[in-house]
Structure 1
Amino acid sequence: MAASQSPGSTPSRTAPGTTLGRALMWPAMAAGLGMLLIYNSINPSVDDKPPPPPATIVAPVVPEILGSHAAPRPVTPSASAVGPAMARSVPTRLQVPSLAINAPFAELSIGPTGQLNPPPPNDSNLVGWFKGGVAPGERGASIVAGHVDTTTGPAVFLQLQFLKPGSTVDIMRADGSVATFKVDSVETFSKAKFPDKRVYADTPDAQLRLITCGGPYNRAAKDYEDNVVAFAHLDSSKSG
């Protein structure tokens, strides 16, 4: 992942930070509300000489979401709504048993420059949730981002690319409930051709997107060339 950059610029990247993302677009929503997020990666104060590679991943990157956003719309049942869904509640912890992930959440928000403030670069076991969007378990696509590595080494989503369809993702929430998602697919996309609508479009059911960096590390750009995205849907829930 990577850090800050002026909205709308993709080719040249400047940065301060650690690991994540690319062009992120929040699709148009009901009643004229729309959300455009550009999910980009940049690497700032980090030495452009990447750390020793764990598996095929090398070098640090930082998650960044840039752009404007509308206020989160309330979750309202509709005739087209399908599948289970939960009331809004802030996520507190993410667990992915098959990857031995057990990490707390940080809330990510859009800063005054129009950029999403990424998770702290010095914490390798932390995931971020875009609080201006859907909460995990609500109807719609909830966005969760995590570093693949940091300036100090491997991070929480290092193994995300190896998550298998059918695997479960548990998200503990502030109201004491647990949302359990089932993975549908894990795919890698070039940041230059990131499928914004497919990843960020509103959905009639409760879905989850786990996002990190992946693919080759471009030393010149100080950035990973791809994004890894895990698509999942709400499978079950437990009340608190």
Structure 2
Amino acid sequence: MTPKNKGWGGIAVAVGVGLWLVHSGSHDVTPPMPSAAEAFAAGPGVHTDAAADPLAPSVPVRLRIPEIRVDAPVMGLGLGRGGSLEVPPAGDRNLAGWYEDGTSPGAKGTAIMAGHVDNARGPSVFYSLGALKKGHRIEVTRRDGRTAVFTIDAIEVYEADTFPDEKVYGPSDRAELRVITCGGGFTRKTGYQGNVVAYGHLIGVRPSGRA
């Protein structure tokens, strides 16, 4: 199941409003944003790296992004009453979410994961998402004991009113992953104005117990 486009629009506000920046008065210090060099060079759908065969579906339980020191448990997310994606509790700064009615990470299709960029106490799980580069790795450990390893194809930032729903959430014929948090412009009145999105695809699988 892929959420309807109108429902996904709510994610731009839902995963972070800059509470730490507002409360601390640090509105001149914002999370790292991806450079133009990390965007798609030829547009999404142009596959330049080898992809691993998709796995059978399995619930993700942990997410690791070594380059930005993310090592977080994963909780399932649904859609809220207004059709937007639910988000992890803001009070837990080290918790990622996965849209559990969609594709599971490593299975064929587009898996969606989201998390906060900050809360009132400081940076949260995806604060440094925009610092990632093409070729960095994202690892998702699943309930079946296997770890799906993704390579990053691009990191892009979008303003809320031009968020490309189909590009981000559309179907894929291979195992792909999107990791999303707040980003873009920031004001103390309205918070973050958009989102940072990391695009990745499956390149390998580690069996249970292997580091």
TM bucket normalised to smaller: 0.7 to 0.9
Aligned equivalent of 2:8 = 37
Unaligned runs of 5+ residues in structure 2 are: 32-50
Q: Which structure's relative contact order is higher, taking Cα pairs within 8 Å and 6+ residues apart?
A: 2
Q: Which residue of 87, 100, 103 maps to 1:134?
A: 103
Segment of structure 1 superposing worse, 46-55 or 144-153:
46-55
Distance in 2 separating the partners of 1:208 and 1:53: 32
SS at match of 1:49: helix
Aligned equivalent of 2:204 = 236
Distance in 2 separating the partners of 1:48 and 1:234: 35
Distance in 2 separating the partners of 1:47 and 1:84: 41
SS at match of 1:185: strand
After TM superposition, list the pairs within 5 Å mapping 1:1-240 onto structure 2.
26=3, 37-38=8-9, 39-41=11-13, 49-53=22-26, 56-57=29-30, 83-220=52-189, 222-240=190-208
What TM-score results when the alignment is normalised by the length of structure 2?
A: 0.79
Residues 54-107 of structure 1: CA deviation (Å, up to 9, x unaligned): 98317xxxxxxxxxxxxxxxxxxxxxxx85100100000000111111000011
Larger helix share, 1 or 2: 2
Aligned equivalent of 1:6 = none
Instruction: Work out the number of aligned pairs and report it.
Output: 185
Does the CA-based 8 Å contact 1:26-1:201 persist in structure 2? no
Distance in 2 separating the partners of 1:194 and 1:217: 16
What TM-score results when the alignment is normalised by the length of structure 1?
A: 0.70
Does the CA-based 8 Å contact 1:26-1:196 persist in structure 2? no
Runs of at least 4 residues of structure 1 off by over 4 A? none
Distance in 2 separating the partners of 1:138 and 1:101: 22
SS at match of 1:231: strand
Distance in 1 separating the partners of 2:113 and 2:76: 10
SS at match of 2:104: coil
Cα RMSD of the aligned pairs, angstroms, is 2.6
